[in-house]
A and B are shown apart, each in its own frame.
Chain A
Amino acid sequence: MPATPVIEPDVDESDLVADIWKVVVWNDPVNLISYVIWVLRTLFGYSEAKATRMTMAVHNEGRSIVFDGDLAAAEDACFKLHGQGLWATLEQ
């Protein structure tokens, strides 16, 4: 019985990586820590621990990646964060 031919998909893995966009929230000296935690929890449904960890990274390190996904999802996340007064940027 002949072996079933294996068809390799014509996909460059580097393209897949490049299609992932990261949403970065930046620290600011105005928004309360409790507010940032609340925003991350309500927008993304993160656990208290995860939202707090990300918020403290924003506070202590100046920025934190809070979401990643394809461009449409990342832009939507960024739109929602800006709507809450947080400064979010997109990067690959």
Chain B
Amino acid sequence: MTPFKRTGKGVEVRLPEGWGPALAGLVTALDNLGSIESDPAAARLSLPVYLGDDDANAQWDDTFSDRIDLGRTVDRAVFSRVFGSLEKVFVDREEASSLIRVLAELRLVVAARVGIEVEEDYERLGEDQTELLGVLGWLQHSLLEAVGVRGD
């Protein structure tokens, strides 16, 4: 089964029944991240830009973090709207890009929460954790292929 397919009307969303609402529900977790100090997922989404320079990083955060958060909020809204609606079947390129980014964000958050720091960490994951990361990756890769993974 291919969950996303490029068509003349855009990318067709062809998820199995019940998957859309489940995916839309996952996004609520992204809206409720903890602090960088307490939540590894929040820390992963706020990595330093200037290595070894706290002052420069603080200035960077002041300038850019709100803009990054705003972009993520917009992407999540698209994700919730597309997957939360049973009527939305086709998405345009811009919407597909938002979905791709949120799938990446979901994978990063899940991976951070289960302690994935290096490749070897996957070996100690439970079945459910492995399956969730695998499904999210499969969806993202399928969507990348549908929009043209090569960016064309």
> Which A residues are closer than 8 A to B by beta carbons?
28-32, 34-35, 37-38, 40-42, 46, 48, 51, 75, 78-79, 82-85, 87-91
Contacts and interface: CB of A to CB of B under 8 A. Distances in A.
A88 to B, nearest CB: 7
Contacts of B48: 89
B123 to A, nearest CB: 11
12 contacts: A29-B122, A34-B149, A35-B100, A38-B100, A38-B151, A41-B150, A48-B151, A75-B49, A82-B49, A85-B104, A89-B48, A89-B49
Contacts, number: 84
Contacts of A32: 104, 137, 140-141, 144
Contacts of A83: 67-68, 71-72, 101
Interface of B: 45, 47-51, 60, 63-64, 67-68, 71-72, 97, 100-101, 104-105, 107-108, 111, 116-119, 121-122, 133, 137, 140-141, 144-145, 147, 149-152
B-side interface mostly: helix
B108 A85 contact: yes
A31 B107 contact: yes
B114 to A, nearest CB: 11
B104 A88 contact: no
B149 A87 contact: no
B105 A85 contact: yes
Given A30-B111, A32-B137, A38-B100, 19 more contacts: A29-B111, A29-B117, A31-B104, A31-B108, A35-B144, A37-B150, A37-B151, A38-B147, A38-B149, A40-B151, A41-B151, A42-B151, A46-B151, A75-B64, A82-B47, A82-B49, A82-B68, A83-B71, A88-B49
